[in-house]
Every structure is written in structure tokens, then in C-alpha cells.
Chains A and B, each alone.
Chain A
Amino acid sequence: MAEKFQEPVVDQIYTLNLGPQHPSTHGVLRVLLDLDGEFIVKADPVIGYGHRGHEKMGENRTYKQFMPNSSRMDYLSGMIYNHGYVLAVEKMAGIQVPERAQHIRVICSELNRISSHLLWFGTYVMDLGGFTPFLYAFDDRERILDILDRVSGSRLTYSYCRFGGVSRDVDVEFIEMTRAFVKRLRSRWSDYHNLVTKNIIFIHRTRDVGVITKEQASQYGVSGPNLRACGIGYDVRKAEPYENYDQFDFEIPIGEKGDALDRYKVRLEEMEQSCRIIEQALDKLPKGPVMAEKVPANVKPPKGDLYFAFESARGLTGYYLVSDGATTPYRLHIRVPSFGNLHVLVEVLKGTLMADAISILGSVDVVIPEIDR
């Protein structure tokens, strides 16, 4: 009888705006979600809220003047981007780098990779509701920033790698601090595993959530730990070794299913592999100069183009430089991994719950200003 007076339940799809100011969107991302109850029917990311015009600046700045820009695109792996940019210009201009500088650059890049993954770890678990791992991760991260601050002068955005080497030599204390840090980080794995990896709530929120299939990964250009979690073992450090990565012995962790839990495990294992690289680089650190002999003040690469790819903390990154022989590039295009990593979510988010969407967004580790450039 009561049913006759009830309004029929109408299935309605309503649009919810997620962002651009949101605690869990890792930058200024806006996603227009079409929701059917709690299930997402369509996800349309709107980006560009952090667009600064780096590529136009690349055409208006000399190669040296662009160096600060390179760190600020993906500020969490600023050292790796700086390193990659310097390597690209050196390859194009034919500048040789002394061995000591190569080792130092690899150590600093791997330290940066660890700090980026630690920050991801802290913020991801914070998005899921756990605040304590954030503090643990930032504690370890501060130690890395202290080491890098000592040698480069900057905590977050570095211009430490220069054309031809690095700007300043490292001293004995840097080596001791790095070794002590690696030792301490290894003793912290048990803390992280006990606090997060074995946590039943975390496992429920990440297992089988946000599965990216191999076909989706290939169609959208997914790279980095997200790709390796799907089962494809592609890492630019092994596929196209740059600097002297081919001298170091490290493994590429590969996942199986491609869900958020696999992405998490791959990143934690990558931190351990980075520790291995750092130890080997410290052991093999040769003596010598840290800057090449004759580096021109205004680098003028010869005419032509170059695509230089390297592995940032988020995946396959590339600098595409077109030079017309002048001191400023004719075109500087940056291929960023977060572009594909975010684009694949348009498909992955369909049919998921709203709360799972936050978990998926966090697990693919997107940095929006690098997409926006």
C-alpha cells in the first residue's frame, strides 16, 4: 500500500566535480565524474590548471637558462629531470663527462628516486586515511634532502648537474651520510611492511583495485612502475642505458596483476634496488675532476634533432630537442610519463566506486604540473 505513494526511484546520472582544489588530486587536477549512485560511469579529466608554458620558454631561453625549468616540471624527481636534460644537451653537443661526475650524478638521481617514492608512499596512504606513514616517510625523506642540500644548495629543485659534470665536488661527509642513510633505510623496511603492507585495511583498499591491463597500458603509453606492475618489464635504464647505468647490477621489479597493490609493491622494491645502485656507485666512485675541460659558456648544438629518453620516478620521460645551431633551441618538447598514466584512467575509472577512484588516482602517482608543463 505504501508503495503507491512512493516516488519511483529514477536512475539518474549526475555530474560531480572533483577538484581542482582537492586534498587528494596531487596537484591541480579536475575530474568531471558522471556518477550513478557511487559508481563512476564516465571520468573526464580536465587539466591545464598548472600550465606555465615551459615549451615556449624553451624556445626563448638558452640551453643553460632552461635548466631551472627542467627541475620544476616534475618537482618530485627534479634531480632526475635535471640530469636527463643535461645528458640530452651533452649528447647533442658532444660534451664528454668525467667518470667521477657520472657516478655522482647517478647517486644523486637514485637518491631523488627514493625520495620521490617515499613521498608517494606517504601521500598515498594519507589519501587512504592513514596519517602515520606520511610522517615516517617524510622523516626518511628529510635525510635525503639534507644530503642533497649539502652538495647542491637546494632541497627540492636542483640545478646541480651542469653541462659537462656537476657544479661542485662531493666530500667525504657526503659519502658517509649516504652510506648511513642507505643502512638506515634498509632497517626501516620492516617498519613500513608492518605498518602498511600487512595492514588488512590497506590490502582491502588496494587489492584488485584499478587493474590496468597490458593492452590498456600499451594503448595509452603507460610507463614506469605502473607498466611494470602490469607485468611488462620495461625500464629505460636497462633498455637504453644512459650515463653509466650499464655498469651497475640491479633488477627491475615486475608485478603480476596490475592492480594498486602491485604498483605499491613495485615501488617499494624499486627503492631497494635504488639503494643497491647507490652502494655500488659509492664503492666504485673514482677520483678525478667533476667537470669537463672545455665546456662553452653558451652551448650551441649542431643542427638537427635528438630524442633523449630516461627513467624518472614516474616512468619514461623524453626530451625532444630540435636545434638550428643557435644558442636557443628551435623546439623543446618534453614527453612526460604522467600524460599516459593519467589518460589510462579514463578507461580504468569506468565502473569503479568513488572511493576506489581516489585509491586509483593515488596509486598511479601522477604529478599534474608535469602534464601541464
Chain B
Amino acid sequence: MPKTDEVVQKLRAMLPEDAVCADEAYKAGVAFSVLAPLGKLRDAARLFNEAGFFLETITGLDFQDTAELVYHFNCYEPKSRVAMRVLCGHDQVAPTVSDVYASAMWLEREVHEFFGIRFADNPDLRPLLLPEDADYHPLRKTFGKVNAYRKREEIYG
């Protein structure tokens, strides 16, 4: 998987020491898992775009102490998925990657309406799936019926 190795090399140069973990056995469905700070999100996304990766999906996660955004990048080669995790406080504003990846326009809209995380410079943050006048964020663990509301370290250690 040469493309993935290339991108990870560049990421290692840009990010702190232990930000990139490899997963040889593809156990979690990703070849590499990267923990990036919020400020480096756009640079990392540009790296992936130049290397020919596409943005598969953006997932939002709601923890007690922080919110998390998980970006999955993939390219058209076997077993080359890379997960990039970005921690973002509940009241923080995340930078947008919609000028790098066009699919992020809708993906960020969805994360915004379900979690309330705002994306700076995304020109269109209208609700995507919820009614236009919705003022609630359903997937927050403070909304509706919730089974568990945990801190991030309880799951990822």
C-alpha cells in the first residue's frame, strides 16, 4: 500500500511523535489511525487530497469532556483506509475542509445538525436531514433517551 505509506510519512513529519498508530492486522478497519490537533486539520486534509485519497465519511462523537470528529480517508487501493481523529470542545469551532473536499459540504452539515459543532467558513450550515426549523441536536447525549454518557478515556484509555 504505497499511497498510504507516503501520506503517513508526511503526516508523521507534520504531527507530534505519537500521533500516528499503525494497525497491521487491519483490526479496526483502518491501516493507520491518526490523532491530529484541531489546528492541523486543514493541512492534513490537504495532504490527503494531494495524495489522491477521498473523504469517506465524517463521524461525530459526543463525550462528557469533549466532542470528537473522526474523518475516514480512503483511496482506491486495497486496505488503505486511514482514520483521523480530531478532538474538539463542545463550544469550539472546527475549521472546515469543504474547500478541499466537496463532499465535506454535506458531511459537515450533518455533523453540525446532529451535534451542534460549528464549522468555520462552511458557507452553508443549514440542517440537512432535520426540518429547517429544528433547534435541537438529536445525537447529543443530552437529548432524548440516552444509555450512557462517558468520558473519552473510558473508551479509548
Contact = CB atoms under 8 A, between A and B. Distances in A.
Nearest to B145: A60
Nearest to A52: B129
A60 B138 CA distance: 13
Interface stretch (B5-13, B14-22, B53-61): B53-61
B2 interface: no
Interface in B24-68: 26-30, 52, 54-57, 59, 61
Interface residues of B, number: 45
Nearest to A62: B147
Given A322-B155, A331-B61, A55 B139 contact: yes
Interface residues of A, number: 43
Contact of A339 (B52, B79, B106, B147): B106
Contacts of B118: none
B129 A373 contact: yes
Interface stretch (A217-225, A259-267, A282-290): A217-225
Nearest to A44: B124
A220 B76 contact: no
A122 interface: no
Interface string A327-339: 0101101010001
Given A219-B103, A221-B56, A330-B148, A47 B128 contact: yes
Given A56-B144, A239-B78, A306 B29 contact: yes
B28 A330 contact: no
B15 to A, nearest CB: 20
B35 to A, nearest CB: 13
A90 to B, nearest CB: 13
Interface of A: 47-48, 51, 53, 55-56, 59-60, 218-221, 232-234, 238-240, 303-309, 316, 318, 320, 322-324, 326, 328, 330-331, 333, 335, 339-340, 343, 347, 372-373
6 contacts: A56-B144, A307-B83, A318-B29, A328-B148, A330-B148, A343-B103
For the complex of A and B, 3 pairs with smallest distance between CB atoms:
A307-B29, A48-B129, A335-B57
